[in-house]
Structure 1
Amino acid sequence: MDKQQLIDCHERIKPFIHNTPVLTSRLIDEMIGANLFFKCENFQRMGAFKMRGAANAIMQLSNEQKEHGVVTHSSGNFAQALSLSAKSLGVKAYIVMPDSAPQVKKDAVKGYGGILVECESNLNAREQASKKIVQEHGATFIHPSNDDQVILGQGTACKELLELQPDLDYVVTPVGGGGLIAGSALSAHYFGNNCKTIGGEPFEVDDAYRSLKSGKIETNSSTNTIADGLKTQLGDRNFPIIQKHVEEIVRVTEEEIVSAMRVIWERLKIVCEPSSAVALAALLKKKEELENKKIGIIISGGNVDVGKLPF
């Protein structure tokens, strides 16, 4: 994926996304000893960066493919992103969700016009349900993170950040399925000035950290983390980009995630979900090495149940 593809992607999706605000906090800067710039994708349409990749993926389909609709399996933000993007573009979206997914997320998908298909709460059931929809309706499957067009779309958040702050030393993102960090790393490479990319990942789901160490895609035996958006794993489309362009992945504890989330709520006065706080938690852990650096952080989303906050 090259620079021109990122530029074309950004121009294509601009009518369907928000150019989200960038916030700063003198207090957080002092905590880390660096200058931080928070790219607030919690203000994106449907509340997360995933709107970007979903819109781009649908727009790159042929007219015939659009007529038959799209399908994905997701229990979280991509389910909502694909539903809203498809609605905005006049395309049907079939969303496979585990029956154990929170009702609020199921309702959000329906509210955005997605056709909800429930299945058992395991990956095999999700994949089988998706395949059935592809066979019966001719819908095109779009993966939430392991898809070139999705990766390009997710990279546009970092591109916008670098247009405002072209001399960042680092860009930091959370790592789940790998779409955001891969896209951000491409933007940092093409639009930054020697800008490095760092990922933050919970110890409880540290497959990306281990994958970089071993050189092959690793899996997680458990997914016991508050960062529910980061329970997915890397794919064969984004892993090579991460291997090539990501400097390192920093692992953080559950306590560090909650603490960083609280800092964002209290100091930036914004709603962010636990997954988003993982990036700041990683910076707090590495602060000795980051003194006086200019650092961009992607706040990935703000879809959190405010009735169940961890603090």
Structure 2
Amino acid sequence: MEDQATPAGAGDGRLVLAATPIGNPGDASVRLREHLAGADVVAAEDTRRLHRLCAALGVTTGGRVLSYHEHNEASRTPVLVEEVAAGSTVLLVTDAGMPSVSDPGYRLVRACADAGLLVTALPGPSAALTALALSGLPSDRFAFEGFPPRRPGQRERALAALAAEERTLLFFESPHRTAATLAAMAAAFGPERPAAVCRELTKTYEEVVRAPLGELAGWAAGREVRGEVCLVVAGARPGEQALGEAELVAQVVARVEDGERLKDAVREVAQRHGTASRELYDAASAARRAARG
């Protein structure tokens, strides 16, 4: 059992996970300002964005600034662990929100914890929780799913596995994939499932659009979605009926377009949703012929 309530001694080093503003610099906490100025080492996902944040806050970093991102975290983690072990305060910041939540940080937290070093946090802004609160959807039970897979077939499979999840679902998505993801969600969860698109939270052009998934897919398809995007989807109702044939066919077609054989795609979707393979195969084949003209 891990217990860090009693660090070895006063003055020992520590890793501090710092939440940074998700848009508006005014959301920076007093403690974040103090630690940016006073930490021995500041590890930043993007050092340029860190310097812009410090300029906006009127803060000068007093310690050494190092980059720490997905491409160098494996090699840089031991360096930062050594800094903490030697008595330094290492402040970890990402581009927005809390480190390790769809951002670098987990590997470093795990390494420090395994080494018996103190890890603490400066809580603050969270895009996922802000979107959940603004969505108007149930917030008593929820599941954060991060970014959906990029490839259509993988995305379809991941969403299909969540179709019966009764908790509210939270996703991050890039703006140029938002329309495709909403269409895939409408196919996987049903077009009437309530949802919300939350973009540019806390920024000048903040927008929250609440509607059923089918309507949101149409809304996104007809415009250029911009900015940071969070998608919030209502959970399945207890005993919610299985998807109709059109939604199941859409899942099969997406998997085939991603390189899977039609026979294999039909078998997987049919088994997952408890439907007959032959009828689904015939319907998917007809849909593909119609699409080819």
Question: Would you call these one fold, judging by a TM-score over 0.5?
Answer: no
Higher relative contact order (CA 8 A, sep 6+): 1
Give me the TM-score of the superposition, normalised by structure 2. 0.34
Give the structure with the higher percent helix: 1
